[in-house]
Chain A
Amino acid sequence: MEKTKKIINGQDNVVEEMLDGILAAHPQHLRQVEGSARSIIAVDGPRPGKVGLVIGGGSGHEPTFLGFVGRGLADGAAIGNVFASPPPDPILECAKAVSGGAGVLFMYGNYAGDVMNFDMAAEMAAMDDIDVRTVLTTDDIASAPRDERDKRRGVAGNFFVFKAAGAACDKILSFDECERVGRKANDHTYTMGVALSPCSLPQTLKPSFEIAPGEMEVGMGIHGEPGIAVGPLEPADAISDMILDRIFEEMAPARGDKVAVLVNSLGATSLMELYIMNRRVKQRLDERGISIHATWVGNYCTSLEMAGASITLMHLDGELQEMLDHPCDCAMFRVV
């Protein structure tokens, strides 16, 4: 099979070379922890008395995770190999570097490898007298039934959940409160997506899975985990409707409720397509009398060069709205 085309120098150093490039672009926001190159922390943000927020996971989802490190959002990100969890050490080094004595919150997507490595890092942090608590993101509504929410994966909705928790931490709320806001944000966040064509890992340069010509896979995960249905590619409005109907069914919004919207590309899908989807999102929300507090459209949680898109809605109340509006200044995202 023909190898997929990528602009890389070699298969072994993609993560290191990407990090070098990111640090070169964002020296005012990001720096490496000394002696731990895969631990990226905010230049400005961590401070005494503030709960530290450490996020992380595999590479290949940029700007998730390290693009959301900065004042007002996450304090640090531990970076793994492509689609693979980081080991505990870089996670622990992040925790130590951002600990302000008020506890450290670990937040990341619910995947077996990540859970094991972050849990070990939490145990090691406890030996250094750093109190760690964990909030897993589980926003992908296609990844398990509603009554098994704790088995669901974390995908693009990470962005809203990290944003809300990061704001709580930045406001110097208590450890209990920061954790509560994180869990609540996750409970109020719903994502579903479709994939149109596969990605390939730099190590293999082969498509990681197959989607037949003219077809799409509904609910596929961000590492190519199988979705809930395969079918013919539909027009943008039909795709958006199908996703929104599933989200509405779970969220059960009432007239007059508020949401935040994220229309996210899995990597290869263009802004043109995302905005066509967002047009439909707006129509559907208007029809139901749901007001849109804020909309983000673009690459927020990608899967290398996978084609496809996801829609996330966060069901807002006063508190979550305040957390989303709270200023943040990160390498790849800001709210002023």
Chain B
Amino acid sequence: MSKGFRQSQSTLHTWSGLLVGWVLFVVFVAGTAAYWREALNRWAQPELPRIEDPARVLRGEQAFLARRAPDAMTWFITVPSERSTSGTVFWVPGATERAGKARGETLATIDGNGQPVVARETRGGDFFYRFHFDLQYLPVIWSRWIVGVCAMFMLVAILSGIVTHKKIFRDFFTFRGGRGQRSWLDGHNAAAVLGLPFHLMITYTGLVTLMTMLMPWAAVANYRDPSALFTALFPQAAPVARSGRPAPLVDLTALLKDAERRFGAPVEYIQVASPGDAVARVTLSRSGHGTLSSYTPSLSYDGVSGRLLWASPPAGAAVLTAGSMIGLHAGRFADAPLRWLYFLCGVGGSVMVASGLVLWTVKRREKLADPARPHFGFRLVERLNIGFVAGFPTAMVGFLWANRLLPLAMAGRAQAEIDAMFVFWGVLILHAFARAPRRAWVEQLGLAAALLLALPVYDALATRKGLPATIAAGDWTLAGVDLTLLAFGLGFGWAARAVHRHIPAKRHTRARAMVLA
């Protein structure tokens, strides 16, 4: 391979990685946290009891809706699993209910005992999931374009990085510590190469999740009406108008049992159209937990007799391929060990992006004419690196602290948690620009460590779901969250100490080299 081509790929790798690296880091970190979305949802609402019997919750959901919204047009019910915090129901009000109701008034949470509960308002782990592709404070369509374009840059950076890496197999196991730029390069290569299949998969399938937005031409050429594409992708039983003849709704737990037998997998969503009417229709959708494809099939039943009326036709090859790629990206099918592997790969990807950003400054520091007064571009990258690489994870921990410290009955509490995180992050970015770089690294990494280590201690003292209680109850989902926070706290503490004790290598200037010669 010619040196010119490899050099051009190296330049492409450097700039495609740097220009969008900060957004990619944020997306990678939030997406990695989202692999524990359900666990974080449970952690964020410690007042809710653990779900022992999902069928009991479903009975509670049906009873609640029959009381609260008997004439609704449609009920939407999430079927809880042992991993969920609670069951969630919402409904589209019928003609007799006041029109234009706020969504919060047509939404309820049912706890593990089948009773409606008022828990603290929070987005929990769902926030990290949505944030990793919808960002925040921006119109969703802009955010998805930003994330989509950044993911394309990431794919370019990965492929050009493979070409650039001359000794990809010979250096596979090599790490030369304590050697400045060489150590950073070895660390960056290790994080990239050891997790290369994951990095390629997650970037490519991430683009697939946005494919109809990024490359709409095939859909536009074949479907003039976007709803026709939606119908072709996600076929549903034909809708039926309410008859006005009242009839009792079938027991949903019986339909759940039948649907799960037919699917050979759990059900995640139930939709009831025209409940309490003679033409009521119940549609159950298979959970993504038991299948690779995220496009899951549905079954529709008569809501009075319980007779099966309709089943999704088998998915075509294109739908199955797209669904499997999206499923591979989201990893909803993964059991606990596989989920941990997904999570660790995500951490590896975050380290890869972060080390690449830091490497940009490490490489250029050697060449600065006056290291005490670097040029504007260098200073900007160096400070943004601190504000993002150290600041963003610290701000995420701030979100978790806001979950614990904001008043429980506060209006708009869920949004306040998010606002608190971004205000905190803004302060950390300002701090990165205000302090000397090394001090700023140490202080932000140290702050992250302190906040992470203190959180499980606070939980043990102030809630009934502290680490000793969850371990004693064998609740390893919640215990796992606290133990992971502790492990990351130790990791950030180690990093802060390493930066604090680091002695920069002497500069290898040309003049010094000549003197030594």
Q: Does A associate with B in a complex?
A: no
